[in-house]
């Protein structure tokens, strides 16, 4: 009798184990947002050789579990219409049903601590408007949905992440990336469709962590630059700093999930790296290959901060490298934080402004909408060195005017003569609204002009719509 009971128990355990073989990746969960009007891959695991049937939005799909236990089906989505849908998956006697799936816009938000900083803030550092956003989060909780990835570093690629989609209730929003949340809330109000945010930043991380070694090999960097990357040591009591450690656990497992684009705010840990533009290009190209689509890439330039020396120049030099990404990577666009920084903290509190500029970029460059706001960053066009020592600087892409006619004094300009020594200069916007007039008594015969070209200057030049002017210079000197 005991033997019969023992065999029966084994059969029950065996049957239970077999009953758990059908699985779907965690990124497909209740409350998920599927990218509207496109093809949407869905994948999971099951018993090799068995058929998997999927019911979605009135259509039926069928595939077979592969020898490695994986299966994959590509669904078709229509326009977002506010309807909550069901995804049903069946294989033999096993079944999975996912509820409350909506169609909308999905964005992947990654980077380091300035992207990671939640609405609730970091220790001793707050987010402007964070408390108000947390308190009002219930108003759009069902329209802004969050998939927050917290996988630790992985030395080998993993197949899945431990996370699920959530409504952005006050408690969820409070601990979600402030930039990502502000972006999602503004976008859903503007487009009138649900927005899914895949929040996937890691404070302190270097860009190399977000890509494979093969992508680094193909990035076009020099042997010396690659040797410098390989020389970086990993410290387990710190954030990831070496190749693949975030890619393996936070990017590879979700690669392919249908999305509209990527938001990226990173660079502090790579500051001074002259090949950063090539690395940024290599990372995005890797992600695009893995996703099977040309994901638009919107990134933020480093905000002003003293970095231990307000007069240091490594930040603006790095920004020039960041900006070069726009030239070498199609469908990439920068937003500028030059007037939004804070001398005392590397985590400036003005996250809503960054998110709004990212939304404006998305609306104009990704969705092709006429927003009435010129988001293009002004660039240096012409410089005239006059005989009286005055320098006239003309910028492109300034929309209507530079600065404000009620406060025309510009902070952040410098002039240098033949000795190549820069001195702070007085500057103002000319009455034409298009030209900067720069003077400095200490530089009677200037040969070079710069703006915002120190780690921290309190630079204040914007277009009349508030879009900051990024650092620029007329020279090509090394320092």
Which of 366, 392, 423 terminates a domain? The answer is: 366
Domain shared by 231 and 349, yes or no: yes
Radius of gyration of the chain (CA): 26
Residue 11 lies in a domain: no
- The phi-psi region of residue 409 (left if phi > 0; otherwise alpha if psi is between -120 and 50; otherwise beta) is beta
The pTM of the full predicted model, rounded to 2 decimals, is: 0.94
Domain shared by 354 and 465, yes or no: no
- pLDDT value for 434: 86
Domain shared by 141 and 267, yes or no: yes
Domain shared by 412 and 293, yes or no: no
CATH at residue 326: 3.40.50.1110
Domain shared by 396 and 448, yes or no: yes
Residue 94 lies in a domain: no
Cα dihedral across residues 202, 203, 207, 209: positive or negative: negative
Domain shared by 315 and 444, yes or no: no
DSSP 231: T
SS3 of the chain: CHHHHHHHHHHHHHHHHHCCCCEECCCCCCCCEEECCCEEEEEEECCCCCEEEEEECCEEEEEECCCCCEEEEEEECCCCCCCCEEEEEEECCEEEEEEEEEEEEEEEEEECHHHHCECCCECCECCCCHHHHHHHHHHHCCCEEEEECCCCCCCCCCCCCCCCEEECCHHHHHCCEHHHHHHHHHHHHHHCCCEEEEEEECCCCCHHHHCCHHHHHCCCCCHHHHHHHHCCCCCCCCCCCCCCCCHHHHHHHHCCCCCCEEEEECCHHHCCCCCHHHHHHHHHHHHHHHHCCCCCEEEECCCCCCCCCCCCCHHHHHHHHHHHHHHHCCCEEEECCCCCCCCCCCCCCCHHHHHHHHHHHHHHHHCCCCCCCCCCCCEEEEEEECCCCCEEEEEECCCCCECECCECEECCEEEECCCCCEEECEEEECCCCCEEEEECCCCCCCCEEEECCCCCCCCCCEECCCCECCCEECCCCCC
Dihedrals φ, ψ of 4, to 5°?
Answer: -65, -45
Domain shared by 265 and 392, yes or no: no
Residue with tokens 């019911």: 55
- pLDDT value for 20: 59
- pLDDT value for 18: 45
Domain shared by 326 and 424, yes or no: no
- pLDDT value for 404: 57
Domain count, the chain: 2
- pLDDT value for 8: 34
β pairing state of 94-111 and 472-473: unpaired
Residue 238 lies in a domain: yes
Residue 294 lies in a domain: yes
pLDDT along the chain (479 residues), means of 10: 40 40 97 98 97 97 97 98 97 97 98 98 94 98 98 97 98 98 98 98 98 97 97 95 98 98 98 97 98 98 96 97 98 97 95 98 96 91 96 89 70 97 95 91 98 97 92 96
- pLDDT value for 399: 75
Cα dihedral across residues 405, 407, 411, 414: positive or negative: positive
Range of the domain at 467: 379-473
Residue 39 lies in a domain: no
Residue 301 lies in a domain: yes
Residue 283 lies in a domain: yes
Domain shared by 148 and 222, yes or no: yes
Which of 324, 340, 366 terminates a domain? The answer is: 366
Domain shared by 243 and 347, yes or no: yes
- pLDDT value for 147: 98
467, 381, 479, 418 alpha-carbon torsion, rounded to 10°:
-130
Number of other CB atoms surrounding residue 456 within 10 Å? 21
Residue 443 lies in a domain: yes
Domain shared by 322 and 469, yes or no: no
Domain shared by 121 and 170, yes or no: yes
Which of 335, 366, 397 terminates a domain? The answer is: 366
């Amino acid at each position: 009798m005991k033997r019969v009971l023992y065999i029966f128990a084994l059969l029950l355990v065996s049957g239970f184990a077999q009953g758990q073989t059908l699985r779907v990746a965690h990124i497909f969960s209740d409350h998920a947002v599927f990218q509207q009007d496109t093809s949407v891959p869905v994948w999971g695991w099951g018993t090799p050789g068995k058929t998997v049937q999927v019911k979605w939005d009135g259509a039926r799909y069928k595939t077979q579990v592969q020898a490695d236990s994986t299966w994959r089906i590509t669904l078709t989505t229509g326009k977002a219409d506010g309807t909550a849908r069901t995804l049903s998956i069946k294989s033999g006697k096993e079944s999975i049903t996912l509820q409350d799936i909506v169609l909308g816009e999905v964005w992947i938000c990654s980077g380091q601590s300035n992207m990671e900083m939640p609405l609730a803030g970091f220790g001793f550092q707050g987010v402007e408007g964070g408390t108000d956003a947390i308190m009002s989060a219930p108003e759009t909780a069902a329209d802004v949905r969050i998939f927050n990835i917290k996988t630790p570093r992985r030395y080998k690629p993993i197949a899945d992440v431990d996370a699920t989609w959530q409504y952005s209730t006050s408690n969820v929003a409070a601990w979600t990336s402030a930039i990502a949340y502000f972006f999602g809330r503004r976008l859903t109000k503007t487009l009138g469709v649900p927005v899914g945010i895949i929040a996937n930043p890691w404070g302190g991380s270097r860009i190399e962590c977000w890509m494979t070694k093969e992508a680094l090999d193909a990035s076009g960097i020099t042997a010396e630059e690659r040797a410098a990357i390989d020389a970086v040591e990993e410290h387990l009591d710190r954030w990831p700093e070496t190749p693949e450690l975030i890619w393996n656990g936070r990017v590879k497992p979700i690669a392919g999930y249908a999305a509209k684009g990527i938001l990226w705010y990173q660079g502090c840990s790579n500051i001074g790296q002259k090949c950063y533009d090539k690395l940024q290009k290599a990372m995005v190209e890797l992600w695009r290959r893995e996703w099977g689509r040309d994901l638009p890439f919107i990134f933020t330039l480093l905000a002003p901060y003293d970095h231990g020396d307000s007069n240091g120049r490594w930040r603006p030099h790095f920004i020039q490298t960041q900006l070069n990404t726009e030239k070498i990577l199609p469908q990439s666009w920068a937003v500028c934080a030059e007037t939004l920084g804070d001398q005392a903290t590397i985590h400036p509190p003005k996250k809503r402004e960054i998110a709004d500029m990212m939304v404006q970029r998305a609306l104009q460059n990704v969705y092709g909408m006429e927003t009435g706001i010129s988001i293009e960053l002004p660039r240096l066009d012409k410089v005239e060195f006059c005989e009286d020592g005055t320098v006239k600087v003309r910028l492109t892409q300034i929309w209507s005017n530079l600065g404000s006619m009620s406060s025309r004094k510009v902070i952040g300009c410098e002039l240098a003569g033949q000795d190549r020594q820069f001195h702070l200069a007085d500057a103002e916007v000319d009455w034409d609204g298009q030209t900067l007039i720069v003077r400095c008594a200490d530089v009677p015969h200037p040969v070079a002009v710069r703006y915002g070209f120190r780690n921290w200057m309190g630079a204040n030049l914007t277009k009349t719509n508030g879009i900051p002017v990024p650092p620029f210079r007329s020279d090509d000197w090394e320092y």
